Amino acid sequence: MENQNNITEFIFLGLFMNKEIKIISFTFFLLCYFAIFLGNFIIFITIICSHLIQQPMYYFLCHLALMDLAYTSTIVPRLIGDLAAKSKIISFNCCMIQLFSAHLLGGVEMFILVSMAFDRYIAICKPLHYTVLMNRLRCNMLILMAWAVAFWHSIAQLLMVLSLPFCGPNQIDHYICDVKPLLKLVCTNTHVVNILVIANSGMICLVTFLVLVASYIVILYNLRKHSVEGRYKALSTCSSHIMVVILFFVPCVYTYVPPPSANNNEKEFSVLYTVIAPMLNPLIYTLRNTEMKNAMRKLWYQKI
């Protein structure tokens, strides 16, 4: 079939149509982005400028904070700008760049969470082998693997969308360029493509989430062997990780696993993993982490 693409630009319908709600949303998302930037920036600087960077858990947390900053920066500034603009036009090429970037950075963040769960598993279930198994070389390999897997996932999504014919209309019922809302604009049968999207994005989210849940169940089960003090410290750390995983993965699974026709409010749910989760991550990892709070207090008091 010949790929006919008559679309040179898309128009976002956005989250809301009501003018008053758009003004309130503009203020809300602007504050959210400021909180995301400030919170993750403080965590990133605190870790790289303190002894915490030597510990694998905080090494991964440093990368997670950086990914939160990069991931939200591909989405939230555009969302804020569109809430204040009369026309929400994005060129076809910019749309494809946003699609690729969001899936790449979101994928890296997803696999960093897996690396953090692996780190906690080794620390709790195999403590005597921790320093050998979680050396800096192994940590770098896990980060590199996260980038490699996320790249192949996002390039597959991009090539699939580029192969589809867009003949009109060009209105995207979303605030970002994503695969599922774009498929609604394709002027051909998308049954097979929908299955591929579910297999690529949906199953990756679901399987990764189930693996993380299973790993934390094993971790919590093995905590029985620890002392009361060690159990409390491990539970404090793991509970923070579990909260982050739930905030990120549950809306992701809800968005990407069902077929497009069955998910009419996916753009509202996507706010949870594109804005809310990256904003709450710094709070979750600092308010429930004594070591992180002490490092922040020591570093930033000296700076002030």
Tens-digit pLDDT profile for residues 113-137: 999 989 988 988 888 888 888 999 9
pLDDT value of position 304: 60
**What are the strands, taking DSSP E only, across the chain?**
9-12, 89-91, 171-172
pLDDT value of position 195: 85
Contact 2, 80 (CB under 8 A): no
Best mean pLDDT range from 99-113, 247-261, 275-289: 99-113
Quick one: average pLDDT of 183-194? Answer: 84
Domain spans, the chain: 9-302
CA angle 82, 251, 92 (to 5 degrees): 40
> Tell me, what DSSP letter sits at residue 186?
B
pLDDT value of position 4: 55
Tens-digit pLDDT profile for residues 251-264: 898 888 887 665 56
What is the sign of the dihedral through the CA atoms of 147, 49, 282 and 94? negative
Q: What is the pTM of this model?
A: 0.90
In percent, the amount of the chain with pLDDT more than 70 equals 94
Alpha-carbon span 267 to 81, nearest angstrom: 17
Indicate the average pLDDT of the chain.
86
- Per-residue confidence at 15, pLDDT binned at 50, 70, 90? confident
Domain spanning 9-302: which superfamily?
Answer: Rhodopsin 7-helix transmembrane proteins (1.20.1070.10)
Tens-digit pLDDT profile for residues 142-183: 999 999 999 999 999 999 999 888 887 888 888 999 988 888
Q: In which element (H, E) is residue 161 found?
A: helix 136-162
pLDDT at 1 over 70: no
